[in-house]
Amino acid sequence: MANTGYNPFENAQAQFDGVAETIGLDSSMREFLRQPMKEFHFTIPVKMDDGTTKTFKGFRIRHNDARGSGKGGIRFHPEETADTVRALSMWMTWKCAVADIPLGGGKGGIICDPRIMSAGEQERLCRGYVRALSENIGPFCDVPAPDVMSNNRHMLWMLDEYETIVGNRFPGMITGKPVGMGGSLGRTEATGYGVIYTLKDLLRCMNIPASETTASFQGFGNVAEYAARMYTELGGKVTAVSCWDNIEKTSYTFRKVFGCDISELAGIKDKFGSIDKDKALALGYEVLPGDAWLKQDVDILIPAALENQITPAVFGDISSKVKIICEAANGPTTPDCDPLIKGRGIIMLPDFLCNAGGVTCSYFEQVQCNMNYFWDKDEVLEKLERKMTEAFRAVYDLAQEKGVYMRDAAYMIAIKRVAEAVRLRGWVT
Ligand code: GLU
């Protein structure tokens, strides 16, 4: 989707193939796991407010459901592609496996730009998406959630359409719903908080107090905002945040070397994560080019936007001070950049481990919906932190034991778990 010339599905397959080789996965299992099990590509005709009908293109791709129903978000983006959704569905399989939740991997996408659509048009698009897919999504089949530019309101429209079609209440059909309408407390914060729970664990292992570190973020959507909030609560200093400017169609980096005030920045962003440039200038932020976030003299880089952002072409811009890259986004680093990162001794917290907090909380949301009993926020966050720490510990210990990069260790754990489920079911022997 991000127009860098990289194909995310090829990246996802390259990462998988490398680890499959290392762990000696047999060829029939490799063949099965390196591609999605099911794909749905369809059109969604939507009546627009001006009376015309516009046809949108939708996707839902289920990579693997051996460990449980497919699970994963629905992205709304004008440059969405089937290959991006394929890659992301595959990463969801590994994410659920490494977090050790009983779910598989799926992902959806619609080629659209919700920033220029009215609420009514968005509602009709959401309902059309579910009408096209109603037999192939559901609580025991494949469970969507919010993702890039989709939100809890969209999820509720989708649930309502699904329940209207099937004629009953199935709140576990979708997650990321509004609180009070089947949503879980803590779900909004969960992905960002989860990123920082794993970062906190890593810093502890490295004997570095969070309060002595600085970080630069790419993106200021939901994930980045809550990650930045929790990181600053731990005493860390965010010196730069970059984000897309929806009016000028370019990105900018907002910098305050003595530390950004995250609540202040959140107060001047729109609902898609674009920070108001004039207001930021008035508040004393430096406004730098979009790629400046990567060039900062910080300890930690946190890409929290889109895929294919850290490539060999920009690797040279990364300061020698950077010790950790924490992948809050899905697929922000290209596989050809991993050797350069390893070579420089930068520690990588890989995406499908560090951003697994969102789907883990989605799993809790389903559990609460099934019980029809909802936990308070402290209970949700306490369970979330425990799950993230367990996942981190398993990956970190394996990486130490085998002397491998944490991404490879996370893949080893996830692939083994999924392959085991596939074998136990007798799909591939
Ligand atoms: N979209 C999020 C992710 O990429 C969450 C998925 C979910 O909750 O199902 O992990």
Domain-embedded: residue 8: no
Read off the pLDDT of residues 59-96 as tens digits, 9 standing for 90 and up.
Answer: 999 999 999 999 999 999 999 999 999 999 999 999 99
Catalytic residue among 71, 95, 107, 269: 107
For residues 113 and 162, state if they share a domain: yes
Report the distance separating Cα 185 and Cα 124, nearest Å: 27
For residues 137 and 107, state if they share a domain: yes
Read off the pLDDT of residues 380-412 as tens digits, 9 standing for 90 and up.
Answer: 999 999 999 999 999 999 999 999 999 999 999
Annotated active-site residue 107? The verdict is yes
Boundary residue ending a domain (334, 349, 364): 349
What is the pLDDT of the chain when averaged over all its residues? 96
CATH number at residue 281: 3.40.50.720
For residues 166 and 126, state if they share a domain: yes
b/e map 89-104, b = 16+ CB within 10 Å: bbbbbbbbbbbbbebb
Read off the pLDDT of residues 273-317 as tens digits, 9 standing for 90 and up.
Answer: 899 999 999 999 999 999 999 999 999 999 999 889 999 999 999
Domain-embedded: residue 180: no
Q: How confident is the model at residue 2 (pLDDT cuts 50, 70, 90)?
A: very low
For residues 207 and 341, state if they share a domain: yes
Pseudo-torsion of CA 367, 372, 378, 380, nearest 10°?
10
Task: Tell me the one-letter amino acid at 47.
Answer: K
For residues 117 and 215, state if they share a domain: no
Substitution candidate for ligand 1 out of 67, 76, 92 with most atoms within 8 A of CB? 92
For residues 62 and 206, state if they share a domain: no
Q: How confident is the model at residue 5 (pLDDT cuts 50, 70, 90)?
A: confident
Is residue 224 predicted with pLDDT exceeding 80? Answer: yes
Domain-embedded: residue 30: no
For residues 192 and 320, state if they share a domain: yes
What is the distance in A from the centroid of ligand 1 to the CA of 330?
Answer: 10
For residues 325 and 203, state if they share a domain: yes
Read off the pLDDT of residues 189-219 as tens digits, 9 standing for 90 and up.
Answer: 999 999 999 999 999 999 999 999 999 999 9
Is residue 1 predicted with pLDDT exceeding 60? Answer: no
Domain-embedded: residue 80: yes
Domain-embedded: residue 117: yes
Report the distance separating Cα 143 and Cα 139, nearest Å: 6
Boundary residue ending a domain (349, 380, 403): 349
Helix or strand or coil: residue 118? coil
What is the distance in A from the centroid of ligand 1 to the CA of 320?
Answer: 32
For residues 193 and 339, state if they share a domain: yes
Domain-embedded: residue 356: no
CATH number at residue 84: 3.40.50.10860
> For the chain, what is the domain count?
2
By residue range, what is the domain housing residue 319? 188-349
Domain-embedded: residue 412: no
- Pocket around ligand 1: residues whose beta carbon is below 6 Å from it? 71-73, 95, 145, 147, 175, 330, 355, 358-359, 362
For residues 162 and 112, state if they share a domain: yes
For residues 192 and 338, state if they share a domain: yes
pTM of the model: 0.95
For residues 291 and 324, state if they share a domain: yes
